[in-house]
Chain A
Amino acid sequence: MVLSDPREIVIHVRLFADLRRFLPDGSEEPVPYHLPADSTGADLLAAIGIPEAGEVTIGRNGEIAAHEDALHDGDEVLLFSPMEGG
């Protein structure tokens, strides 16, 4: 029997606007990301490979979150880049 690693958390991620270019090809949203426990929003952005991550807005379970906030197993995360519209 394989037990899930207690030191790993799974985060469900949706990407918006220009960040959608970081969607893995052919993946369905939300995309599950497996991260070490105690990972933060910034760690998630790094794992996805988003440059200039400082500009990104992180929404976690319907609230805005700081980049240094810790993530928890099962969190629903939305990521946004600033985008103009007219």
Chain B
Amino acid sequence: MADRYGYWNKILHVDLADRSTWVEEPGDAFFRLYGGGRGIIAHYLLKDVPAGADPLGPENVLVFAAGVVTGAPVPGGGRHSVGAKSPLTGTFGEAEAGGFWGAELKRAGWDALVFHGVSEAPVYLSINEAEVEFRDASAFRGQDTGTVEEAIKAELGDPLTRVAQCGPAGENLVRFACVTNDLNEAAGRTGLGAVMGSKKLRAIAVRGKSNVPVADRQALIDVGKWVASTLDENHRGFHEFGTGGAMQGKSLAGGLPTLNYQLGQFEQIDKVDAVAVRDQVRISMESCFACSVRCKKVVQVEQRREDAGTTSNGQPIAVDPRGRYSVDPRYGGPEYESLASLGANLGVDDLIAVCKSNEVCNSLGMDTISAGSTVAWAMECYEKEVLTAADTGGVPIRFHDADGVVDLLHLIARREGVGDLLAEGSQRVAERIGRGSEQFLTTVKGMELAMHDPRHVPRMLVSYLLAPTGGDHMSQTGNKNGLRNQVGLCHFLGYSDDQSLEILRAVTGWDLTPEEMVTMAHRGLTMARAFNLREGFTRADDTLPPRFREDLPMHPGVTQELIDTTVTEYYEELGWDAGTGVPTPDTIRRLGIEADLAVPQ
């Protein structure tokens, strides 16, 4: 064997139907071709999911893929991707998460897991280095993620086990259920938790003890030292607030999603931004694997003063003055996306309720963006009497109703009452009820946009129009989002492109060039595009819903002309047909993915 760094050349396949497993060793060329994450996911979706397969049926596969950087001792190297055909959109489904689970998977000696089929009974998989075991999960049905994670750690007798799981929302096939890991991290988007739930796979516990081999450990240690010693210059905002520290600015600039994207300013934003979180409810900041930036908020609230002690540094823990909610710190705290989607975009200025809503999403396993945006859409419909009490079973769904949101999120996760309807995601419900409700949608290809209004942040436009997953803000072509997500490197780290290249080289020992990095990102995107084309998506789907054609008070609506040129330019950049977006035979050959997709005639 040649020296091999950054990966093990080991992919674990699991057939949930007959509980068999096998190990695939795809070879070094495979890892250099795909890099991890999206590339590996696209490879298995194209190969193993038949066209037109039901995303919630036995033919879908569910892939957990680390990248070559995941698990390497470098800040930001703790990310992994989860993928399947999406039950929310029917497109290529993928989401990424940080924390520790992905690095632990690598440290257990695995590069990826591919789940086939459907289990007959609820099951969880325990992976301890090479040892793989199916274990009964029937007792976990309906239990929140915190209870299940603790039960698994106790059952396996190892508190250092890392757990990824789907939550009750996934079990109930909520179409925007997420896959949660380490309780406070989520591969949030595209409904992958529902795929996991459909397979009756409640959780994957991993434990690893092997250091991932790297080509140049010293270079990575130096990068780590650089991050730590330049924290103030490069990551001060993230370190101090996490995401969401500039929401007051976004609102002033008229670009903060407010009342289902009808407005760009939320007057009460200083009550529900990351500054308010820091000042009122935060107890600490946590980190992901090997990262000194520590940008993950942890919040805690108690219902009663007598239950509220002090934080580790002696600060009093927040109390809900109205005695309604406690918020459990095991579930972290709201990131920017959640503050916006569960706060401003719903007209909610009640910080404790926003933190509670975030906890409900994490403990029951739902994507905060799609959950919040589906509720925002329903609120506008209700206000405009497109949805009535007759549709909602008498439940009023009103903007500004903070407690109503918390209740509604429970109903959705459990698919009870009106929650059963909304669990389908806003676009499906709009298709079902009609009555003009599609005018209020904020979806692309069926997925609700993230919280960056393309009328205010034009560079998001290309991601929303062309992300293979729909309204996703994380799929630009460049190295930052395109490549980093694929290889497992956090995009919040202020690395330059040169530094990213240096990290990739130091991990893998490959003689990578900047061009090859771009090619690797384009390969993943092109394969995902091919999957969507195969599923019947066309250029007509690379568009924005009517809401974003409307003007905001401070920013004009997006024009059809701008959409057309953005789409065409992107197709050209990626080497796809400028009219149809079909990857050209030349591009397929240049990317070396002929085996993954037949060259179109």
Contact = CB atoms under 8 A, between A and B. Distances in A.
B236 A18 contact: yes
A20 B474 CA distance: 26
A20 B243 contact: no
B49 interface: no
A16 B274 CA distance: 10
Contacts of B76: none
B246 A17 contact: yes
Given A21-B232, A57-B253, A80 B491 contact: no
A62 interface: yes
B240 interface: yes
B208 interface: no
B61 interface: no
B249 A20 contact: no
A81 B244 CA distance: 12
A85 B243 contact: yes
Given A17-B237, A21-B236, A86-B491, A78 B249 contact: yes
Contacts of B336: 85-86
Contacts of A83: 237, 243, 245-246
Of A16, A19, A20, the most chain B CB neighbours within 10 A belong to A16
B333 interface: no
A16 B248 contact: yes
B254 interface: yes
A62 B248 CA distance: 9
B110 interface: no
B287 to A, nearest CB: 16
Contacts of B450: 86
Contacts of A20: 236-237, 240
A78 B236 CA distance: 17
Nearest to B270: A78
Contact of B243 (A57, A63, A86): A86
Contacts of A80: 246, 248-250, 252-253
A54 to B, nearest CB: 15
A81 B237 contact: yes
Nearest to A78: B248
Interface residues of A, number: 19
A81 B235 CA distance: 12
Contact of A21 (B233, B245, B254): B233
B300 to A, nearest CB: 22
A22 B253 CA distance: 22
Nearest to A22: B236
Contact of A63 (B232, B238, B252): B252
B337 interface: yes
A59 interface: yes
Contacts of A82: 246
A66 interface: no
Interface in B526-568: 554
B476 to A, nearest CB: 11
B337 A59 contact: no
B275 interface: yes
Interface residues of B, number: 29
B79 to A, nearest CB: 11
Interface in B468-485: 473-474
B63 to A, nearest CB: 21
Contacts of A57: 249, 252-253
Of B238, B248, B275, B450, the most chain A CB neighbours within 10 A belong to B248
B302 interface: no
A77 B241 CA distance: 20
B252 A59 contact: yes
A14 to B, nearest CB: 9
Contact of B473 (A19, A21, A62, A86): A86
Contacts of B335: 85-86
Given A64-B252, A64-B253, A17 B337 contact: no
A85 B244 contact: yes
A17 B252 contact: no
B210 to A, nearest CB: 30
Given A17-B246, A81-B246, A62 B337 contact: no
Contacts of A18: 235-238
B454 to A, nearest CB: 14
A78 B247 CA distance: 11
Nearest to B231: A21
Contacts of B243: 83-86
Given A85-B335, A86-B337, A64 B254 contact: yes
Nearest to B254: A64
Of B243, B245, B254, the most chain A CB neighbours within 10 A belong to B245
Nearest to A29: B275
B245 A16 contact: yes
Nearest to A62: B252
Of A20, A57, A78, A83, the most chain B CB neighbours within 10 A belong to A83
B337 A16 contact: no
Nearest to B473: A86
B494 to A, nearest CB: 9
Interface string B334-357: 011100000000000000000000
Contacts of B337: 85-86
A8 B275 CA distance: 31
Contacts of A64: 252-254, 554
A17 B245 contact: yes
Interface in B91-134: none
16 contacts: A16-B237, A16-B248, A17-B246, A17-B249, A18-B238, A20-B240, A59-B248, A63-B252, A80-B250, A81-B246, A83-B246, A85-B243, A85-B244, A85-B335, A85-B451, A86-B243
The 7 closest A-B pairs by CB, nearest first: A80-B249, A85-B336, A85-B243, A17-B237, A18-B237, A17-B246, A59-B252
Interface of A: 16-21, 57, 59, 62-64, 78, 80-86
